[in-house]
Chains A and B, each alone.
Chain A
Amino acid sequence: MTALHRTEWRAVGTTCAAAVTAGQEDEREVAWALAAAQEEVAACERELSRFDPTSDLSRLNDADGRWVYVGSRLLEALCLALRAREETGGRFDPTVLPALAAAGYDRSFELLEERPAEEANGWRAGTAVELDERHGRARLEAGSAVDLGGIGKGYAAGRALAAMRAAAPTAGGGLVDLGGDIAVSGESPEGGPWLIAVADPRRVGETLAVLALEGGGVATSGRNARRFGPALSLHHLIDPETGESALGGPLTVTVAAPDPVAAEVNATTLAIAGPGEAADYVAARPHLSALYVPHAGPAIPLGRLPLVTERLVVRAAA
């Protein structure tokens, strides 16, 4: 009999979960798969976290323009982030870290102290990041620094899912959830697509919609959480055009995409876009769909959103 085998743990500053669809007789394979997912997330965190001073990313950010040998995960994540910067016309930019730190988000969120935002002196968008894949090293323009917060969890979720598939090749399907950045493949234990609830940002604990995913990823970005600064007036979504916390944009936006990296990058990008701009953006990219939740008024589905129901769920009952 096929069942869902699931484990939860804390990593990347949030609650993580991995789940495998497999039979009872596949107990050993399931254990390997779930352990492989946890190990892969830990490996990604060791290379990609900006809050760990010993991570590869921290060494790169501190190198003041020198070449730094880095791990293959950071090299690949940087490559994907630079490609995303190009594909989004600079609306997604991994080099916003100096502006983010100037705004006050200069340490792990739970350690932030209240202080007024500062000017990001000399910061400009789109600074140079050089990758030398042959020798496994990278270099940032002096004075520049990278934050992979808008791509790192999606990247880690995708890698963890691949590690699970390699450890349990006969499993029917798998799911990795890193604090709401979700990657799925194969079948759910019920034999169909994976059902992903979209949390209602206006009503804690309630569901806004349920998506049916047969593969790929889904991610949510927004300003309903992680606010900081005087009277919680600032948030972590930096507009690369201004170098400050973005003024426009939705309360939250959820993006479904063929892979979890695309889901997270585009959720980050749309989180600073107005509704018209977001609609045009998704219309130009048929592989994306989104649920745009403005600060007031009804949620707006964009693209071919794989909703389980034909209308948006407005309230989930027990």
Chain B
Amino acid sequence: MQRVWVVVLSVWAMLAIVAVLAWSSRPSQPLPAASAQTVIVKGHGGKQRLVVLKAPAHATTATSAAVHG
């Protein structure tokens, strides 16, 4: 009978540990869904019109302000 109680308590202890771990290590949150971006596009003769991109850019290229190797 004592062995049964040991097994039952061990199982409950293990479940408790798993629950604590699952609660404490939350999955990393992906970035929220990106909203559309409106850009003004210059056509021939300087005429401007609006263009809606489905998503904003994922990164920006520019001259870096400082450089190493």
Interface residues, chain A, with chain B CB atoms under 8 Å away:
3-6, 12-14, 17, 19, 24, 27, 30-31, 44-45, 48-52, 55, 57, 108-110, 147-149, 152-153, 175, 177-182, 188, 190, 194-199, 201, 207, 210, 218-226, 236, 252, 254, 308-318
Given contacts A27-B28, A30-B28, A152-B69, contact A180 B61 (CB under 8 A): yes
| Shortest beta-carbon distance from B27 to chain A in Å | 5
Asked if A5 and B58 make an inter-chain contact with CB atoms under 8 angstroms apart, the answer reads no
Within 8 A of A (CB), among B12-43: 27-28, 30-31, 37-43
Q: Which residues of A contact B56 (CB under 8 A)?
A: 195, 197
Asked if B28 and A5 make an inter-chain contact with CB atoms under 8 angstroms apart, the answer reads yes
| Shortest beta-carbon distance from B30 to chain A in Å | 3
| Neighbour of A316 across the interface among B30, B39, B58, CB < 8 A | B39
| Neighbour of A196 across the interface among B37, B42, B59, B67, CB < 8 A | B59
A19 closest partner in B (C-beta): B58
Q: Which residues of A contact B39 (CB under 8 A)?
A: 207, 210, 309, 313, 315-317
| Neighbour of B68 across the interface among A3, A49, A218, A222, CB < 8 A | A49
Asked if A207 and B64 make an inter-chain contact with CB atoms under 8 angstroms apart, the answer reads no
Asked if B58 and A4 make an inter-chain contact with CB atoms under 8 angstroms apart, the answer reads yes
Chain B binding surface SS class: loop
Asked if B67 and A226 make an inter-chain contact with CB atoms under 8 angstroms apart, the answer reads yes
| Shortest beta-carbon distance from A264 to chain B in Å | 10
Asked if B63 and A252 make an inter-chain contact with CB atoms under 8 angstroms apart, the answer reads yes
Asked if B58 and A210 make an inter-chain contact with CB atoms under 8 angstroms apart, the answer reads no
Given contacts A149-B69, A220-B63, contact A313 B30 (CB under 8 A): no
Given contacts A314-B48, A317-B38, contact A199 B58 (CB under 8 A): no
Given contacts A190-B54, A311-B43, A312-B42, contact A13 B62 (CB under 8 A): no
| Shortest beta-carbon distance from B50 to chain A in Å | 8
A318 to B50, CA, bound (A): 12
B50 closest partner in A (C-beta): A317
Q: Does B57 contact A (CB under 8 A)?
A: yes
| Nearest 10 interchain pairs by C-beta | A3-B30, A179-B64, A13-B68, A199-B62, A197-B57, A49-B69, A152-B69, A48-B69, A109-B66, A197-B60
Asked if A17 and B59 make an inter-chain contact with CB atoms under 8 angstroms apart, the answer reads yes
Given contacts A180-B61, A180-B64, A197-B60, contact A4 B30 (CB under 8 A): yes
In the assembled complex, 13 residue pairs joining A and B whose CB atoms fall closer than 8 Å, in A order, are: A14-B66, A27-B27, A50-B68, A182-B61, A188-B58, A194-B59, A197-B56, A210-B57, A222-B63, A313-B39, A316-B40, A317-B39, A318-B38
Q: Which residues of B contact A207 (CB under 8 A)?
A: 39, 57, 60
Q: Which residues of B contact A149 (CB under 8 A)?
A: 67-69
Q: Which residues of A contact B55 (CB under 8 A)?
A: 188, 190, 195
